[in-house]
Amino acid sequence: MGKGGRHTYAAISVLAAGALALTGCSSGGSKGGASNEKDTENAKRQQSSIEFGKAQDSVGPAPEVPGAKAGGTVTVLQRDTYAHLDPAQIYVSDEGSLSSIIHRGLTGYKATSDDGAKHEVVGDLATDSGTTTDGGKTWTYKLKDGIKWADGTPITSADVRHTFERLFAPFISNGPTYIQQWMANTPGTEYRGLLKGGPYGGKHLPDTVLATPDDKTIVFKFQEPKPDLPYALAMAGYSVVSQKKDTKEKYDKAPMTAGPYKIADFKSGKSMTLVKNTNWDPKTDPIRHQYVDQFNFLFNKQYEDSTKTLLDDSGVNATSISFNNQVDAGNLSKVLADPKLKSRVVSGYQPYVGQMDINMSQPEMKDKKVREAIAYALPITPFVRAYGGAQAMEVAGGLISPTVSGYNPNFDPFGKKKKPAGDPVKAKALLKEAGKVGMKLTFGYINTPEGQQYSTAMAAGLQKAGFNVQRQEIPAETYYDQIGKVKNNFDIYHTAWGADWPSASTVVPPLYDGRVIQDGAANYAHINDQKVNADIDRVNKITDPVKAAEEWNKVSEYIVKDVVSNIPTGYYKQTQIAGSKVGGLVYDDVLGGVDPRRLFVK
């Protein structure tokens, strides 16, 4: 998942380390301070595939959380407001965390341990994780009995058909595109030609692609085997949308929900209130709980603000938490070292990889020597320091996370692990060769305390190499929307991405395929390299996961070393804290942070 940091398994993007994280990622689940040894264990664990559960595993209710009880209100302190509530537009981790308690899909990730470390893919609205008899070309799903929207109307196959058909509408541009591309059997944005404009003009996908023979049955038909469909369907971006209540663009601010909670009030940039959805039946849901009566969200709470509030732990603060804010850099060491806080702290190794995107659509950025000069000059130390140092992040050499199979710890073409402060001398020499000393470089940065801190220091490092750096702030809540525009005015900007499930096939194609370039797409650098595009098509056909992982890593290394469009910065870790009266606290590998589905008030 990437917008800042997309999610690996659930494709939800985490607001980790100060840049929004695109979903498609998941985070490690150890309680308390994570040592290097635990980091390694968490990373290796996340490389493992998650199995598809059987029909009996898809039956609700979800296993009870030890010590849980119903009732009470939890206050949620969030840095950023939610830019998108329409499932089809969700691809960042903070929106993914919210989605986990308000939206439902055909499949989902069920925690099979109480520490957030073990999962299986099960049927959520569907009776199982999916049935295929031809190696993954045809998948059949049956809807459960008793599933309803928050307004009490039944969820039917017509809603599911509409959910996938509306993905072809032009206003849907921020969510995942895997299934649309699989349906159309084409890479990039060409999938839109399969159903131009979506279903709003009365046209539908043919039954040879998507069939709904009755109110309970959905059949996906692909031209090529798609064995990962149950993973893709578990993404927040493929949660079901109500056909009758679809208001197109307006749905993004007031969606119909099907999860255990519904939106009672939403004031963008200020607050949100979630209350119980009385039409949610726990017998149909093997994944979620509904212990808390109400969630009160407060936005614009920076990491330092939320950390201080939660450390205070008095009054309403004792029943407060943040779904995505991490402990700020100034308090991180103290929090991890205090044994009294151990029961209130969770830490994990996330699947996100930070990267500085060089905007390849800008004419000045097409000179490879200029890009190499940026790569050598860029200091990584300020970025790591802004989020708490080595306890919060590890300097990255490549674009494949330690949590994803194929990771190569020795790859570091620009020497960032040895010289994290950058190499301005070598960079300036390259800039001289290009005849571009003194060239203007517009640096778009996220307007948070962390973003202000690291961008100032990074800009200074680039200036030492001979660049004239102009920093431009971008509001955090619209950061990914702005840098996601094909025609933006920035030369460089930082993002983070995590795999949507444990495969680099959910990293390389969405981020670096030139054929996906469109407003809202995750190819933030606008890289359109013919070799990369061809390699993506080639590796996508490799069925051996070990061989595929090796080949995906080769493609990613070519992008860093030879294309020089994306400069790795850091591998993310995260530490979060909760009030002492918040129960059910775990760091979930799939969500990449606190698991809202199991919280209760003690």
pLDDT of residue 40: 58
Report the alpha-carbon distance of residue 40 to residue 21 in Å, rounded: 21
* pLDDT of res. 28: 26
pLDDT in tens, 482-513: 999 999 999 999 999 988 887 889 999 999 99
Q: In angstroms, rounded to a whole number, what is the distance separating the alpha carbons of residues 325 and 450?
A: 12
Both tokens assigned to 319: 């029943």
pLDDT reported for residue 421:
97
Q: How far is CA 497 from CA 14, 255, 316, 511, 534, in A?
A: 9, 26, 34, 9, 22
pLDDT given for residue 63 in this prediction: 95
CA dist 7 and 330 (Å) reads 26
CA–CA distance from 491 to each of 54, 151, 437, 479, 517 (Å)?
Answer: 49, 46, 16, 15, 16
Q: What are phi and psi of 532, to 5 degrees?
A: -60, -45
Q: Which residues of 80-115 are buried (b: 16+ CB within 10 A; e: fewer)?
A: bbbbbbbbbbbbbbbbbbbbbbbbbbbbbbbbeeee
Q: How far is Cα of residue 282 from the mean position of the Cα atoms in its chain?
A: 27
Identify the residue whose tokens are 């307007």: 447
Q: Which residues contact 355 (CB under 8 A, 6 or more apart)?
A: 396, 399, 494, 495, 496, 497, 566, 567, 568, 569
Cis peptide preceding 61, ω within 30 of 0: yes
Other Cβ atoms closer than 10 A to 363? 7
Pseudo-torsion of CA 387, 392, 393, 394, nearest 10°?
140
Beta bridge partners of 428: none
Residues 148/152/153/154 CA torsion (nearest 10 deg): 20
Query: In angstroms, how far is the first alpha carbon of the chain from the final one?
Result: 33
Gap between the Cα atoms of 299 and 459, Å rounded? 29
SS3 readout for 208-262: CCEEEEECCEEEEECCCCCCCHHHHHCCHHHCCCCCCCCCHHHHHCCCCCCCCEE
- C-alpha closest to that of 540 among 515, 565, 520: 515
Task: Dump pLDDT digits (tens) for 95-154.
Answer: 999 999 999 999 999 999 999 888 999 999 999 999 999 999 999 999 999 999 999 999
- Rounded CA gap, 325 and 577, in Å? 9
- Look up residue 566 and give its amino acid: N
Distance (Å, whole) CA 280 – CA 392: 38
pLDDT of residue 544: 85
The pLDDT assigned to 44 comes to: 55
Asked if residue 35 lies in contact with residue 390, where contact means CB atoms within 8 angstroms, the answer is no
How far is C-alpha 231 from the geometric centre of its chain's CA atoms? 14
- Stretches where the chain sits below pLDDT 70 are 1-48
Cβ atoms within 10 A of the Cβ of 470, count? 13
> Residue 589: what pLDDT?
84
